[in-house]
């Protein structure tokens, strides 16, 4: 069985410590794009599960907004053909 494990994606992180506002937005988009590429890889390569240990987002407030945004961009991030597991302490 093929499984992908990743952790602490923090897709909505402010990243204000080390980046300007513009660069932080670029970095957040890179992170989301990388996540989408991982999902596409999983779909194309017979992965049965993706395990995310840690935070997909930093804040609960932005989760629904970010998920809606990402499902509307570039055809969305369809998660089909495998299971997605979140492990949080």
pTM of the predicted protein model: 0.70
Domain ranges of the chain: 2-87
Order the strands of the 83-87 sheet from edge to edge: 2-7, 47-53, 83-87
Read off the pLDDT band of 87 (50, 70, 90): low
Task: Note whether 54 and 6 are within 8 A (CB).
Answer: no
On the question of pLDDT at 46 being above 80, the answer is yes
């Amino acid at each position: 069985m093929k499984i992908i494990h990743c952790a602490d994606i923090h897709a909505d992180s402010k990243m204000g410590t080390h980046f300007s506002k513009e660069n932080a937005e670029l970095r957040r988009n890179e992170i989301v794009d990388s996540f989408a590429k991982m999902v596409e890889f999983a779909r194309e390569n017979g992965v049965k599960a993706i395990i995310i240990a840690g935070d997909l987002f930093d804040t609960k407030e932005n989760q629904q907004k970010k998920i809606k945004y990402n499902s509307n961009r570039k055809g969305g991030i369809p998660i089909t053909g495998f299971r997605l597991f979140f492990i949080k302490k």
